[in-house]
Chains A and B, each alone.
Chain A
C-alpha cells in the first residue's frame, strides 16, 4: 500500500516529523512505565518466575515437537493431495476436511479418552513405556506424571495442525510456475527429483510466512492441552494466579504470563521476516 499513500511532500512531512519525535518520547515513556509496573511487583515476579519458566519450557517442548510432526503430516498429506492416485487423493482430502472441520478440543478428547484408552486396553501405555525406557537409563524421575496427556496431546495437536499445513504446502507447491515442472521434466529429471530439487526449494519461500503464522497459533493452542491435564505456561499462570487474593497481583501474574508468550512468539515472527529477506536474495 505504498500505492495508497504516494509521494507525500517534504514540506508537510517536516511538520509531521515532529510528531515522530513526540512518538519516540511517548514510546520510551510507555516502556519505562511498563518496566516500573513490573518493578513494583518484583517480589511476586521473583517468586513465580521459576514456575513460569518451567511452564514455558513445557509449552516450547510441546510446540516444537508438535510442529515437527505436523510438518511431516502436512507434507505427506500435501503430496497425497497432489498424487496421481485417486484413492490417495481421497484419503488426504478426507483427512484435511474432517480435521479442519472439527474443534481441536474434541480431537484432544478423542485421542486421549478414545484412542488412548483403547490402546491402554491392548496393553500400551505411553507413560509406562517411557517409564520403562527411562528406568533402563536410570532416570525415570524425568518422566512427568502428565506424560500420557503430553503424548496424546502432541499427537492430537500435530494431527490437527498437519491438516492446516497440508493446505499451505499444497498451495505453495501449486504456486510454483508450471513452466518449472516442464523445464525439469524436459531435462529428463524424474518426478521425485523434480519435487525435491526444483519445486520444494521454490515453494519454501512462499510457504514460510503462513507456516510461521501457524506455528504461532500452535504455540497458543497448546494451552488447550489443559483438558488433558497438562500444565503448560497458561495453566501454570492460572494455577499461580487464581489462589491470589489481591486483584492487582493477580492481574500482574496474567500480564507476566502473556509477556512470556510474547517472548516465545515474537522471535518467530522476526525469524520469518529474516528468512523472507534472505530467500529473496535469489529473486
Chain B
C-alpha cells in the first residue's frame, strides 16, 4: 500500500522543504530505513486539543510546540530525518495509522488490549499518572497537597470531570459512586473554577500545563491546585502499524532512538522544561 505515493513523493522530493538532519558528531547515528519516506519522520498527532503534547504556541500561533514535538525532533535528528507532524483528528488516529498515513502515532498513546491486536509498541518514553485538580479555595481540600495521599474513593458522591477518550475516564468508570463528567475538546478547568464540578482527573502533563503553568506563556493558575500523588501509573509509547511492511525495522530504530535520548539526558531536559519531571521516570530508565 502507498507504493505509488512513496515513489511519487520520492520523485518530486526536491520540491519539499526538507532540512536534512545534520548528523551531530559524537552521537550514534541511527538508520532510517523504516521510514515510509526516506529522510522524513512522519508522526500522527492532533494539535487542536493537544496541549501540552502538541499545540499552537499561544504567543505565536505560527509555531507548533509541545513536549512531544521536541521528542520527535530529537528522534528525527538522531535518524538524520526531518520531523513532520501529520495532523489527524484524535478519534481517527487509529484508522489513519492503519491506513499508513504516517510512520507512527505519538500522542500520549498507551498500550491497550484492543490496540495490541493491530499495533506494535515502542519502549516507553514517559511514565505518567492521573492527577486530581481542585479549586485552591475549596475548603474541603485546604490542607492537601501533591504529597498527600488522595484516592478515587475520596471523590465518591462528588462530580469529577475529564476528557472524552482519556484514560482517566476508564478509571473513573470503575467507581460507580463517583459522578463522572466527560468533556469533548475543551477541558473542564473553567467548570472547576465555576464550581460546576468538584474536581478534574487528568494526565500529569495536562495538569502541569494548565495548572503549574509549564507552557511558554505559562504562569501558574492560582485558582486551581493539583492534589495527591499521580495515580494509575502507565506509559506513553509510540504506536506502529503491524501491517506496515517496515514495522519491525521502524520499531527497532524508534527504540534505539528512545534509548539514546534516555541515555544522553535529552528526555529529562524536555520533561523538566515542561514541569513533568518526577520520580516515576526512574521506573522506565530515565535518570
Which A residues are closer than 8 A to B by beta carbons? 47-48, 51, 109, 113, 117, 120-121, 123, 125, 127-128, 131-132, 135, 140-141, 145-146, 148, 226-229, 231, 235, 238-245, 247, 250
Contacts and interface: CB of A to CB of B under 8 A. Distances in A.
Contacts of A135: 12, 15
A242 B4 contact: no
A202 to B, nearest CB: 44
Given A125-B5, A132-B12, A243 B99 contact: no
Nearest to B8: A128
A125 B88 CA distance: 17
A227 B189 contact: no
Contacts of B51: 242-243
B278 interface: no
Interface stretch (B145-153, B215-223, B263-271): B215-223
B193 interface: yes
B17 A141 contact: yes
Given A141-B15, A247-B193, A250-B190, 5 more contacts: A47-B61, A121-B1, A227-B92, A229-B88, A243-B215
A145 B46 CA distance: 14
A245 B221 contact: yes
Given A121-B1, A245-B221, A229 B89 contact: yes
Given A128-B4, A247-B190, A240 B61 contact: yes
Interface string B72-104: 000000000000001111011001100101000
B253 to A, nearest CB: 23
Contact of A140 (B15, B55, B101, B219): B15
A106 to B, nearest CB: 13
Nearest to B17: A141
Contacts of A113: 92, 95, 99
Main secondary structure of the interface of A (DSSP, over half): helix
B186 interface: yes
A148 B13 CA distance: 19
9 contacts: A51-B61, A135-B15, A227-B91, A229-B92, A235-B48, A239-B55, A240-B61, A242-B55, A247-B190
A48 B62 CA distance: 10
Most buried by B among A127, A141, A148, A243: A243
B210 interface: yes
A48 B52 CA distance: 19
A140 B221 CA distance: 44
B43 interface: no
B9 A242 contact: no
A228 B87 contact: no
A245 B219 contact: yes
Contact of A240 (B56, B87, B91, B218): B56
B216 to A, nearest CB: 10
Interface residues on B, range: 35 or more
B56 A239 contact: yes
A128 B89 contact: no
Interface string B190-218: 10010000000000000001100101011
A121 B98 CA distance: 13
B8 A131 contact: yes
B2 interface: yes
Interface in B206-253: 209-210, 213, 215, 217-219, 221
Nearest to B185: A238
B49 interface: yes
Contacts of B16: 140
B12 A226 contact: no
B47 interface: yes
Contact of B58 (A141, A235, A238, A243): A243
The 7 closest A-B pairs by CB, nearest first: A243-B51, A239-B48, A243-B55, A128-B8, A135-B12, A229-B88, A140-B15
A107 to B, nearest CB: 14
A228 B9 CA distance: 21
A125 B1 CA distance: 11
Given A242-B186, A245-B210, A227 B4 contact: no
Contacts of B17: 141
Interface string B1-31: 1111100110010011100000000000000
Contacts of A242: 48-49, 51, 55, 185-187
A132 B87 CA distance: 22
Given A141-B15, A242-B186, A231 B48 contact: yes
B4 A125 contact: yes
Contacts of A244: 58
A176 B210 CA distance: 61
A65 B91 CA distance: 26
